[in-house]
């Protein structure tokens, strides 16, 4: 089966389709709809394929006690975790507004449903695909319900084991063929030694019939570009207007110039992956005609002499002649003309 499917209307992923680049706005909008819109515009201007938010129905995602936990972090927007999350949560109407705004700009819009009710809402507003955040990847009841809705799914793998990912694969596959796994380590910012890009290759071996991608929380863009060279078909990165802003994710996010560079570098790497066929290309012809080497005679030889290896050399010659990889085929053959030192040997100068 081909590891390729339509993730958004008219946009396929996997196979030889371009890597799908998700600008994860998440909660970096600071709870301000105008900042959110500015970020959508920025993502579009930088060439991202899609913007993504995080939608929670807080009382469904968290227990009462979890919401009541004090949250004293410098990144907190409230005294309790509930008050903090409430500040960062957009209403249904605001989501619809952001969706319309994105549609008018011409960029795909979606969100991770951070609980079943949020996924239900996203289904109602007809997002092109569901993002499953790492915290829900082992939430099998959630996965079953979400997979049954029939939309493509992008499933992250932070905090999970390969055994769990096998189980996730079986669970989703039963109901929905169109999903992708993203290698992800859930630490903010992510230290380079914990990225583990090798997992992309392991996922490709374990799950050959789905596209594999990467959701990164490291600083900078080089690791995400390397993920594409390893075959990542989706790349998701948090984006921000300013890394210094208050909020847990800003430091591990890309500013506009970085997002723009990421998109352009990914496109360059994709183009450069090219063909698996090794052969001399037409674009190498001028280099070859200037510097390519040929078999020549080291010293004068007379017509009728049998060629030995010590008579032959390899040089940049004019005209070009027999390529050096065939030098041994000449040994033992008779030369049919007189030749001077440095003369190129061509096929018509030796007997068959
Ligand atoms: C695992 C997960 O959901 N991670 C998300 C996606 O990467 C993050 O954006 C969190 O929502 C964020 O780091 C939480 O920050 P705080 O706890 O300050 O609201
Ligand atoms: C947490 C999320 O993503 P990831 O697990 O890929 O970081 C998310 O999409 O909300």
CA of 186 to the centre of ligand 1 (A): 9
Ligand 2 residue neighbourhood (C-beta within 6 Å)? 54, 112, 131, 133-134, 156, 158, 182, 184, 186, 215, 236
Q: Do 191 and 297 fall into the same domain?
A: no
Q: Are residues 245 and 295 in the same domain?
A: no
**Has the ipTM of the complex gone over 0.85?**
yes
Atom 8, ligand 2: which residue's CA is nearest? 133
Task: Kindly state whether residue 2 falls inside one of the protein's structural domains.
Answer: no
Q: Name the residue at shortest CA distance from atom 10 of ligand 2.
A: 133
Q: Is 134 in the pocket of ligand 1 (CB under 6 A)?
A: yes
- If asked whether residues 289 and 148 sit together in one domain, one would say no
What are the per-10-residue average pLDDT scores of the chain (352 residues)?
Answer: 87 97 98 98 98 98 98 96 98 98 98 98 98 98 98 98 98 98 96 98 98 97 98 98 97 96 98 96 97 98 97 98 97 97 96 87
- Looking at residue 115, its pLDDT comes to 98
Same-domain check for residues 167 and 262: yes
- pLDDT score, position 201: 98
Which tokens hold the place of 224? Answer: 């995400």
Task: Judge if the beta carbon of residue 113 lies within 6 A of ligand 1.
Answer: no
Cα–Cα distance list, 288 to 154, 274, 297, 320 (Å): 47, 21, 20, 10
Q: Domain range holding 332?
A: 282-349
Q: What distance in angstroms lies between residue 134's CA and the mean position of ligand 2's atoms? A: 5
Is this structure's pTM higher than 0.80? yes
Q: Is the dihedral of CA 259, 189, 164, 226 positive or negative?
A: positive
21 with 126, same domain?
Answer: yes
pLDDT at 2: 54
pLDDT of residue 213: 98
CA 99 – CA 285 distance, rounded (Å): 51
Cα of 248 vs centre of ligand 1, distance in Å, is 7
Q: How many structural domains compose the chain?
A: 2
Q: Does residue 1 belong to any structural domain of this protein?
A: no
Residue 352 has a pLDDT of 82
Q: Judge if 333 and 200 occupy the same domain.
A: no
Question: Do 130 and 46 fall into the same domain?
Answer: yes
Is 238 inside any structural domain?
Answer: yes
Ligand in closest contact with the CA of 215: 2
Do 290 and 235 reside in the same domain of the chain? no
């Amino acid at each position: 089966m081909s590891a390729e499917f339509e993730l958004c209307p008219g946009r396929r992923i996997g196979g030889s389709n371009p890597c799908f680049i998700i600008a994860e706005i998440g909660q970096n909008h600071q709870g301000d709809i105008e900042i959110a819109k500015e970020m959508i515009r920025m993502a579009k201007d930088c060439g991202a394929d899609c913007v993504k938010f995080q939608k929670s129905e807080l009382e469904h995602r968290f227990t009462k006690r979890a919401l009541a936990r004090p949250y004293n972090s410098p990144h907190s927007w409230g005294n309790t975790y509930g008050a903090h999350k409430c500040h960062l949560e957009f209403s249904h109407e605001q989501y619809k507004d952001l969706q319309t705004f994105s549609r008018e700009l011409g960029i795909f819009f979606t969100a991770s449903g951070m609980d079943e009710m949020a996924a239900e809402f996203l289904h109602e507003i007809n997002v092109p695909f569901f993002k499953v955040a790492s915290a829900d990847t082992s939430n099998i009841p959630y996965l079953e319900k979400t997979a049954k809705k029939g939309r493509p799914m992008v499933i992250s793998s932070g905090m999970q084991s390969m055994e769990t990912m096998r189980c996730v694969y079986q669970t989703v596959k039963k109901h929905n063929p169109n999903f992708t796994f993203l290698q992800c380590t859930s630490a903010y910012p992510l230290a380079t030694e914990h990225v583990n890009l090798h997992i992309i290759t392991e996922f490709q071996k374990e799950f050959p019939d789905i596209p594999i991608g990467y959701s990164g929380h490291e600083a900078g863009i080089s690791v995400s570009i390397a993920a594409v060279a390893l075959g990542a078909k989706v790349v998701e990165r948090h984006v921000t207007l300013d890394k210094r802003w208050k909020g847990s994710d800003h430091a591990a996010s890309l500013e506009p110039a970085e997002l723009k560079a990421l998109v352009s570098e990914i496109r360059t790497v994709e183009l450069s992956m090219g063909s698996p066929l090794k052969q001399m290309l037409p674009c190498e012809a001028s280099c070859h005609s200037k510097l390519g080497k040929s078999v020549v005679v080291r010293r004068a030889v007379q017509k009728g002499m049998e060629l030995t290896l010590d008579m032959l050399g390899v040089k940049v010659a004019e005209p070009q002649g027999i390529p050096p990889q065939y030098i041994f085929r000449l040994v033992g053959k008779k030369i049919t003309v007189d030749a001077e030192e440095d003369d190129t040997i061509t096929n018509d100068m030796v007997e068959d």
